[in-house]
Chain A
Amino acid sequence: MSAPPAAAPALRFAGVSKWYGQVAALMDVSFAIGAQVVGLVGRNGAGKSTLMKLACGLLAPSQGEVEVVGVPAGTPEARARLGFCPDVERLYERCSGLQFVAWMLRLHGAGAAGAQDRAAEVLTELGLAADMERPIREYSKGMRQRVRLAQALAHRPAVVLLDEPMNGLDPVARHELAGQIARLARSGTAVLISSHVLHELETMVDRVVLVHQGRLLAEGRVAELRGQVRGQPHRVQLGSERPRELAAQLVGWPQVQGLELAASSVQVAVNGEPGFYGRLTGLGASADGLVHEVTPLDDSLASVFGYLIG
């Protein structure tokens, strides 16, 4: 399985609605993606995960249709063509990363030896060669994320869905993940990647779909949307072993509007000028432990959505 056929979009939502009892999680959502990288952006609770789970067949639409490479979502044919990296922290904690990915491959029909070889190959590509035989319970957040990604990519799907893959990753890991996504795009794989922070997606996606309260709010190329939201401030929390030192480094950056110091983190108000995340990646890579985690705060899209929805 590699690139989807040209005739059918890689992923298609047509008039999709989803209700949980009386609560509408999605209302009449329609869009399609081809072999490209698309960002799915919205606040927490906007319906991003619901959209992804509908594509995987983990949920069934209350109304409308979801197709994966022209096949109804949720069917074994659709699932064989799809890889999903869920926003689930837990894995099989006592297994090794290698064992976990190989087990998932076995359920795709791979033989024992083939599954083991392919799992090792994909984990090596993701930078886990040295640790793949250690139990998962000993893994860091970043290593777990790579295992989750590996199980999504190992069977070479035509469509890959990544649910908030940047959460909790340090700048270096984010940079590596962006590289992985770029490689997937080059191989013709369609990628849908969700985030509640537009800024962290803008360097890696071709197009963005914005969802708000279960509705499709806006859709388009990043540059178009970026033009609309330029200058909107947002906040991020930077985990650090030496927060005072980190704060001292950040003071004076033109993108930093304000800093708030805590015991093991620094909260930064970013003014929206470009270049902040590039400089932060450089800082994280240059000093060990100075930045070990970047967590966008929930309200970081508030101003963007405020702007878009008036």
Chain B
Amino acid sequence: MNSPGFVSVVIEMARQTAVLLLQNRLLWVVAVAEVGCAVIAFLLGYRPPRHADGRLLYSMLAWWLLLSVLMPWVTMYFAVQAIHGDIEERTFQYLFLRPVRRSALLLGKWLAVALFGSVLTAIGAVILFLATLPHAELWVDGVQWSVLTAFVLAGVCGAVAYSAVGALFAAWTKRPLVWTAVFIVGMQYFIGNLPAKAGIRAITVADPVRRMVLDRVEPDRRLARWLWPSEREFDPEVIGQPVWNLVVITGVALALALRAYARSEYDARARE
């Protein structure tokens, strides 16, 4: 047998990880949660907030339920499961014995998680949107599919970045779920919601994802306030380059994760 090439190992590892993730019972919980969000959207459609149209109602729910809660927790949990699960259960030994580079193994796992997070987020965004459609009175100017596109795109980019951060915690730390919780609550909920003048928010995932959404939905003042409560006078100038910010966060997190994964002696007694 010849040693497989780097790319084919990445693809094979992504395939194997995807099969394992598909067997994860959490998928059912995610499905129920996404349907639950859609039910909330459908019911709120009967008694929407004052002067709220379909765009505002959908954006509010998609941002605060899907992109702020479901996407980060689910994507990072899957990343931790896929990478740290092997380390915790010591099954990583079977992988590290193969004549392949560890970086290819990690990239494959990350790719599978990023894909999963993206697909789950996109499905969530779509069914949430569909749940608002029966309330035709909310869409007086017609259904704005561009709002759905904005959230799907932002969700996919966000899932890719969150999976990279999850991979970093999984490869680098002994308690990645604790770090995940600290990251989501501290960085995404607290720092990510600071006003635009707080530059530190740019190192979160939540902030560029929100700027991506705002860039595409062309919000009025009310919608901007719903999505970014701390920014009293939303100025389109603050949008900046959210995609680039996400690329940098993803790249840095992945580079650090690869370094940790390639060098760590996960079996050393000192770690235990």
Interface of A with B (CB < 8 Å)?
1, 20-21, 23, 25, 53, 56-60, 76-77, 79-80, 82-84, 86, 88, 90-92, 94-95, 103-110, 151, 155
Contact with A along B49-83 (1 / 0, CB 8 A): 00000000000000000000000000000000000
Q: Which residues of B contact A108 (CB under 8 A)?
A: 1, 3-4, 98-99
Q: How large is the interface on B (under 10, 10 to 19, 20 to 34, 35 or more residues)?
A: 20 to 34
Interface of B is mostly: loop
Given contacts A59-B267, A109-B2, A109-B4, contact A92 B96 (CB under 8 A): no
- Residues A110 and B1 in contact, CB atoms below 8 Å apart: yes
Residue of A60, A86, A104 touching B98 (CB-CB under 8 A): A104
Interchain CB contact under 8 A, A80 and B20: no
Question: Is the pair B98, A88 in contact by a Cβ cutoff of 8 Å?
Answer: no
Report Cα–Cα, A77/B93, bound state, in Å: 17
Can you show 29 pairs from A to B with CB atoms below 8 A apart? A20-B268, A21-B270, A23-B269, A56-B96, A57-B96, A58-B96, A58-B97, A59-B265, A76-B99, A76-B100, A76-B101, A77-B3, A80-B3, A84-B93, A86-B93, A88-B90, A90-B89, A90-B90, A90-B91, A92-B20, A95-B20, A105-B1, A107-B9, A107-B12, A107-B13, A108-B1, A108-B4, A108-B98, A109-B3
Contact A82 B270 (CB under 8 A): no
**Best-buried of B3, B9, B19, B98 by chain A (most CB within 10 Å):** B98
CB closest residue in chain A, given B263: A60
Q: Could you tell me if B3 and A58 are in contact, using CB atoms closer than 8 angstroms?
A: no
> Using Cβ atoms and an 8 Å threshold, which residues of chain A touch B20?
92, 94-95
Inter-chain CA distance A94–B268, complex, in Å, is 27
8 more CB-based (< 8 A) A-B contacts, given A88-B90, A92-B20, A95-B19: A1-B1, A58-B266, A79-B97, A90-B89, A107-B9, A107-B95, A108-B3, A108-B99
The count of A-to-B residue pairs whose CB atoms sit within 8 angstroms is 85
B-side contacts of A20, CB under 8 Å: 268-270
Chain A residues, Cβ within 8 Å of B23: 94
B146 on the A face (CB < 8 A): no
Complex-state Cα separation, A95 to B101, whole angstroms: 24
Across the interface, do A58 and B93 meet the contact criterion of CB distance under 8 Å? yes
Complex contact B267–A106 (CB within 8 A): no
User: Which residue of the partner chain B has the closest CB to A115?
Assistant: B1
For the complex formed, measure the closest distance between the CB of A83 and the CB atoms of chain B, giving whole angstroms.
8
Name the distance in Å between B8's Cβ and chain A's nearest Cβ: 8
Q: How far is the CB of B27 from chain A (nearest CB, A)?
A: 13
Name, among B19, B101, B266, the residue most crowded by chain A CB atoms within 10 Å (CB to CB).
B19
Is B270 within 8 A of A77, CB to CB? no
Q: B267–A53 contact, CB under 8 A?
A: yes
B269 in contact with A80 (CB, 8 Å): no
Residue of B nearest to A107 (CB): B98
Instruction: State the Cβ distance, A261 to closest chain B Cβ, in Å.
Output: 35
Selected from B12, B100, B265, B270, the residue in CB contact (under 8 A) with A58 is B265
Q: Which of B19, B101, B269 contacts A25 (CB 8 A)?
A: B269
